[in-house]
Structure 1
Amino acid sequence: MTVASLFSDMILIGVFMLAGFFVREIVKPIQKLFLPASLIGGLLALILGQQMLGLVEIPESFSKFSNVLIAPIMAALLFGVTINKKKVVGYMDYICVEQGIYGMQMAVGAALGALLAVLWPGLPKGWGTMGVFAFQGGHGNAGAAGQTYENLGIPENLSVGMVLATFGLIMAMLVGMVVVNIGVRKGWTKFVKDAQKQPDWYYGGVLPEEKRSSIGSTVTSSIGINHLALQGGWLLAAVYAGRLLIKAVGLVWPGVSVLPTVIQGILGGAIIWNLAKAVKLDRYIDVKTIKHVSGFLLEVVVLTAMATLDIELISTYIVPIVIYTAICCALTLAMSLGFCKLFCKEEWFEKALMAFGVGTGNTATGLALVRAVDPDSNSSAPDNHGIYSAVMCWKEAFAGLIPMWTMSGIGMTVGVGGVMCAICIIVGCILFVRPSRKTA
């Protein structure tokens, strides 16, 4: 790939990104499902490309973007991660539920995928492990895990992950809004008596002037360096630090070279952020800008991955994929409602909506469901999830580890996921389910 060809690819990406955005603006029902413009643009590219209509030539290099860009995307997750011990203790009820769901999706997803592969023998190896990434982290984590599988010789799992992530988003909003209305009628909500209809700008269109916010803050004079260049430098330095660490460890343990770029990004992000804090250089880092840079890269990954979906594979195995999605999402809903009601003394329904939205779509869908029953943003559910994301940021490493475990079978994934789920439920029961004094 030359610089010229890369620029040509970016031009095409930009065109389809805009096309996806305006389709989303015009077709209002798409907005209510929270389908991003990058996903829609990728589907347009897929339809117009060689696999279908053949009107546009989609470059082969599109399939390689995720492998390169996943490292800085994952590195950005570690910037700004701070843990408040008091909040960790106070929000342990939600942490137990959400991490328990994560473990369940690991174990059940891997086992269910193996079972369905018996009925549909042509399914790619380890495809069932993609569910936890697609449902918990959306298209970004699905792309990370899928890219690791591609490096291991199973490229089909990237397509499976993207489809599962899309189905998860749809399930999150369709099922989630049904649950919202049931909860309101039954009086489970704390802040409203009727499900709130959001204003049109919440889903799409131009934001009102008073609702617009900056995408970051400059930290030094532009005479010395452009703000975006400075923040991009921090992010790329994190990737470089991760590579150096892997190379250094490789001098002692050659086997470390098999670790995917996902792990390099996570390690590098942790190193650079914590090192900058230790030497007081974090004042030159604007986390908000770094998250936006990462968000842009993620949009590119989603669009290019969708544009290069394996149509033949997906159309052949759509039935097991739908069955898998329905079962995993049903279990996620049951755990969200059941254990939040059991563990959470305050706002159990709002926390359950957050857990379900995050566990089937992404953070945005979780926030959207909570907002439907909390229009004035009084609920602590979003804050709970923020603390959970900080405390459990280490789980992002599974996007690199699980595909490697799967090469020798699903036993490790099922075992680790099952133990994780069991520990979370047991801890939750010990801490939050106590017999009443009369019973005692």
Structure 2
Amino acid sequence: MTADWIGFSLLMLAILLYAGKWMRMHWRPAQQLFLPASILAGAIGLLLGPGVLGAIMRTVGGEEAPLAQGAIPESMLDVWSDLPGLLINVVFATLLLGVPLPKWKRVWGLAGPQLAFGVTLGAGQYVIGILIAAFILAPFFGLPLMAGALIEIGFEGGHGTAAGLQETFAELGFADGADLAVGMATVGVISGIVFGIILINWGVRTGKSAVLDKAVDSIPHHQRRGLVSEDERPLSAGGMTVRSESIEPLTLHFAFIAMAILIGLGFLEAMAWVESVTWGAGENGVELLGAVPLFPLAMIGGLVVQQLLSRFDRHNLLDRDLMVRIQGFALDLLIAAAIASLSLKVIADNLVPFVLLGLAGIAWNVGMFLWLAPRIIPKYWFERGIGDIGQSMGVTATGLILMKIADPDNKTPAYEAFGYKQMVFEPFFGGGLVTGLALPVIYNFGAWPLFGVMLALVAIGIGSGLFYFAKLEQEP
């Protein structure tokens, strides 16, 4: 595969992203569901590939028919399928870059209830998934017990995490798990938005919302199309912290990201070495860290870089807004590439397990929002909880979209509490260390040790929320 072909594949992926944005602006269902252009772009690529268009043409005209392999060649899909595993490191390296750590007391008091809620949602997805895998998927469908981790990987982790674990799935003998996880992430994003909007409308009608008095239909048309009106457009999407004749600000920020990823790689190599001379040594050694992906440690590397800059950089060279733009760019490419290169055959071959896991994940998240959130987040529970359910079923952006709809003028502490909660939550769930270790732990020790730990975390999340954080929030 030549550099020219890789470059051409990236250009075609960019064209798909523009097509996805065009659909968002002109196709009403996409506007009603607030579907990101990256998901629409990936869907277009999937439809034009060998799994859909190619299958139709082969059915009609045989293997030699025009477009029998689709309009997108397999070699281009090979390039796209490798992109997520690289880009996810960029996404996670930028999560904490430019984010100053607040005082712990404020984080604990404001985000504590949501952290309890988030841990309950994330750990519960493992509990539900492992039970389904152990008692239904493994005995009746022959799937490995690692299928029990698919709900958390797809729902809590999203497309980036699902695609980033592709090599881990393959190394552990469950290569189909990567496609199932990406498919699960797609179900999570769409269901998160759909059920989120349904819940927001329900909250308005029943008075649960402390802010809205009108249904979601009142959202401006330009917002539904994903546009920013001209009078609301910011002057800049990022700050110029250095003069471009010395170095472009974008180039400098790319260097910060590279530092974070390399530090994470150093951590991963050090952990692998420790394992090789301790519990992983010899023929009967247990390999856990060798299957851990790089991206959770790239996030830790970003935290290290941020702390070094906070301590030694007197010129404030790092601009958070510009870092967010780089993160968004990488995530758009990642999602579009992951969906476009998805194997529909794998999902079709495992349709019943896929549907069971998806429905169980949706039921768990919605059920916990309706029952647990109002009991542990008494102040503005609806606006604050809706962000968590969006994030736990899709990605952080889904949670932010739902919070923007539920609290358009930022009248509640939802955004601040959500941001603090993510700082503590993301290093572990949704692509963090727990997500990275879950598959090798199940592979080496079976599902029940992980099940026990996650069940304990669910109990801690519910218990601390009901008996500590709820009372803490009610204090004057």
Scaled by the length of structure 2, the TM-score of the pair is: 0.84
Residue 105 (structure 2) pairs with residue 86 (structure 1): yes
Residue 270 (structure 2) pairs with residue 237 (structure 1): no
2:443 aligned partner: 407
Task: Report 1:298-377 matches (<5 A).
Answer: 298-377=331-410
Residue 242 (structure 2) pairs with residue 220 (structure 1): yes
Paired residues of 2:113 and 2:470 also in contact (CA < 8 A): no
Percent of pairs identical after alignment? Answer: 27
Measure, in 1, the Cα distance between the counterparts of 2:380 and 2:39: 33
Measure, in 1, the Cα distance between the counterparts of 2:44 and 2:310: 43
2:61 aligned partner: none
Structure 1 alignment gaps of length 5 or more: 435-440
Residue 126 (structure 2) pairs with residue 110 (structure 1): no
Residue 240 (structure 2) pairs with residue 203 (structure 1): no
Task: Report 1:159-174 matches (<5 A).
Answer: 159-174=179-194
Instruction: Tell me the amino acid that sits aligned with residue 69 of structure 1.
Output: L
Paired residues of 1:276 and 1:282 also in contact (CA < 8 A): no
Paired residues of 2:154 and 2:162 also in contact (CA < 8 A): yes
Task: Report 1:15-54 matches (<5 A).
Answer: 15-52=15-52, 53=54, 54=70
2:168 aligned partner: 148
Instruction: Tell me the amino acid that sits aligned with residue 245 of structure 2.
Output: I
Deviations 1:36-60 (A, max 9, x none): 2222222222222223321221422
What SS does structure 2 have at the residue aligned with 1:365?
A: helix
The more displaced of 344-353 and 122-131 is 122-131
2:453 aligned partner: 416
Paired residues of 1:20 and 1:39 also in contact (CA < 8 A): yes
Alpha-carbon spacing, 1:11–1:220, altered in 2? closer, same or farther (3 Å): same
Instruction: Tell me the amino acid that sits aligned with residue 39 of structure 2.
Output: L
Measure, in 2, the Cα distance between the counterparts of 1:387 and 1:358: 14
Measure, in 2, the Cα distance between the counterparts of 1:249 and 1:326: 37
Alpha-carbon spacing, 1:361–1:34, altered in 2? closer, same or farther (3 Å): farther
2:66 aligned partner: none
Alpha-carbon spacing, 1:109–1:257, altered in 2? closer, same or farther (3 Å): closer
Q: What's the CA shift for 1:222?
A: 0.4
Deviations 1:178-223 (A, max 9, x none): 2222222222221233324211121225421222233211111101
Instruction: Tell me the amino acid that sits aligned with residue 252 of structure 2.
Output: L
The more displaced of 236-245 and 247-256 is 247-256
Alpha-carbon spacing, 1:49–1:282, altered in 2? closer, same or farther (3 Å): farther
Q: What's the CA shift for 1:331?
A: 1.7
Paired residues of 2:85 and 2:166 also in contact (CA < 8 A): no
Q: What's the CA shift for 1:225?
A: 0.5
Q: What's the CA shift for 1:120?
A: 4.8
Deviations 1:244-286 (A, max 9, x none): 3333455554355443222442232222222222222671112
Measure, in 2, the Cα distance between the counterparts of 1:270 and 1:276: 10
Residue 29 (structure 2) pairs with residue 11 (structure 1): no
Deviations 1:100-151 (A, max 9, x none): 1111112212322333314652546522312113222322222233443234
Task: Report 1:262-281 matches (<5 A).
Answer: 262-280=295-313
Paired residues of 1:103 and 1:417 also in contact (CA < 8 A): yes
Alpha-carbon spacing, 1:324–1:250, altered in 2? closer, same or farther (3 Å): closer
The more displaced of 314-323 and 303-312 is 314-323
Alpha-carbon spacing, 1:183–1:231, altered in 2? closer, same or farther (3 Å): same
Paired residues of 1:343 and 1:428 also in contact (CA < 8 A): yes
What SS does structure 1 have at the residue aligned with 2:411?
A: coil
Residue 287 (structure 2) pairs with residue 287 (structure 1): no
Match of 1:183 among 203, 209, 228: 203
Instruction: Tell me the amino acid that sits aligned with residue 311 of structure 2.
Output: A
Deviations 1:334-376 (A, max 9, x none): 2122222112231122223222222222333333333444332
Instruction: Tell me the amino acid that sits aligned with residue 49 of structure 2.
Output: G
Measure, in 2, the Cα distance between the counterparts of 1:414 and 1:146: 23
2:293 aligned partner: 260
Paired residues of 1:75 and 1:269 also in contact (CA < 8 A): yes
Instruction: Tell me the amino acid that sits aligned with residue 143 of structure 1.
Output: A
Count of aligned positions: 434
Paired residues of 2:237 and 2:325 also in contact (CA < 8 A): yes
Measure, in 2, the Cα distance between the counterparts of 1:80 and 1:413: 34
Paired residues of 1:195 and 1:372 also in contact (CA < 8 A): no
Alpha-carbon spacing, 1:358–1:389, altered in 2? closer, same or farther (3 Å): same
2:87 aligned partner: 69
